[in-house]
Amino acid sequence: MAVVSAAGKQRAPAAFDEPIYVTRPLLPDLRDYVAALEGIWQRRWLTNKGELHDALERALCEHLRVRHLSLVANGTAALMLAYRVFELTGEVITTPFTSPATVNALTWCGLTPVFADINPVTLTLDPVAIEAAITPRTSAIVGVHIYGMPCDVARIGTIAARRDLKVIYDGAHAFGTEIDGVPITQFGQATALSFHATKLFSSAEGGAIVVADARIKYSIDRWRTLGFADEASVVVPGINARMNELEAALGLATLGLVAAEQRARAEIAQVYSTRLAGLEGLTCHAIPPNVSNSRLYCVVRIDSAIAPVSRDELWERLKPFNVFARRYFHPLCSDFAFYRDLPSACAGNLPAAHRAVRQVLCLPFYGSLGAAGAHRICDIIDHIWSG
């Protein structure tokens, strides 16, 4: 709603009193967390597969409707372990439009990232570009369900089966995402999840690897604990990627709040999509009807050829109103100094990714913002659009 002065001139909406960030962590009632901490104090068991750790693994399996899940220290460790456990070698095809975590974890495992372009609408890996990037050295495809939007899992699965490649999904944004009622974690050899403070479901730091086979979970559990099989035998060159009891307690106290948070975010998404629909050159990243999205981000795209402001101008002009949107994932991983000389990193190979990275903006999106907060942000954007 435009604010109009007595003289009939449109006044600028008021700035927020407090900074409005792209997200805020979902937190339980402090008393529930303190009660869980008291148990930890009594047991004096802080890490290494504690009681709460195992309880959270079971609770997450139920919540996500998966059979095997290993908790780890963070989403980056989940990726690194998945790459190692599935013995990826040589070249791995992935997207440049992602967190550095996806690609840097490949480098940490001694693998060569090969960038393939994204679908201009879904912003996930383009199967045609994947096919074109396969060489005799390719061992795997790492897809990212960016913003909780599923990759084209059917076509990627077909390519992988035909070319004998492994598929690992980075599901850091896809907690609870489903396609036609099927959990997203059922696709590929493994899905890595992140439970960082900025994620829908968080344990402050944390993550998990979801796999289909009990034997693989058993193996991951050794890799995440320095390779120990028992007190005296170390069977793989593992790392310390354990989740501790304080994080597991936070996760357990938060998990039951996720569904209500998703409902609150759905209401906010509705406000944004309705209010911003008519703005020239601005489109909301649409979720296909057969997808139940995690609701981690609310993403708009600004086409500066049509819109009165560019994405970067909008991002800057929101700041004086105390609104801190984010340009995830700018810059592209293929533009990092240590990747840009890769043959696959050249801009001509990645036109859709280059367009997307200039256009996307993640608006503040968390339940406690409320519909009223989203309306205020829309007032500000309206004001910016009107000059």
Distance CA 4, CA 8 (A): 6
Please identify which residue in 16, 25, 37, 49 interacts with ligand T4K, judged by CB under 6 A: 25
Phi/psi at 123 (nearest 5 deg)? 70, 15
CB 159: neighbour CB atoms within 10 A? 19
The DSSP result for 131-186, as a single string, is HHH--TTEEEEEEE-GGGPPP-HHHHHHHHHHHT-EEEEE-TT-TT-EETTEEGGG
Report, in Å, the least distance between residue 333 CB and ligand T4K.
Answer: 10
94 is an interface residue for ligand T4K by CB under 6 A: no
177 is an interface residue for ligand T4K by CB under 6 A: no
- Identify which range of 39-47, 191-199, 214-222, 370-378 contacts ligand T4K by CB under 6 A: 191-199
Report, in Å, the least distance between residue 74 CB and ligand T4K.
Answer: 4
Closest residue to ligand T4K in the complex (CB):
75
Report, in Å, the least distance between residue 231 CB and ligand T4K.
Answer: 30
Report, in Å, the least distance between residue 330 CB and ligand T4K.
Answer: 11
> Taking CB under 6 A as the rule, which mask of x and - marks residues 207-246 in contact with ligand T4K?
x---------------------------------------
Q: Which amino acid is at 334?
A: S
Order the strands of the 182-183 sheet from edge to edge: 182-183, 178-179, 291-292
Distance set, CA 156 to CA 75, 94, 160, 189 (Å): 22, 12, 6, 12
Report, in Å, the least distance between residue 199 CB and ligand T4K.
Answer: 7
254 is an interface residue for ligand T4K by CB under 6 A: no
Nearer to ligand T4K, 324 or 385 (CB): 324
> Taking CB under 6 A as the rule, which mask of x and - marks residues 116-155 in contact with ligand T4K?
----------------------------x-----------
3-state secondary structure 187-203: CCCEEEEECCCCCCCCC
Give the three-state DSSP class for 292: strand
Give the dihedral sign, CA 217/196/329/374: positive
Nearer to ligand T4K, 307 or 314 (CB): 314
CA angle 305, 311, 312 (to 5 degrees): 120
Q: Which residues bind ligand T4K (CB under 6 A)?
A: 21-25, 74-76, 98-99, 101-102, 144, 170, 172-173, 194, 196-198, 207, 324, 328
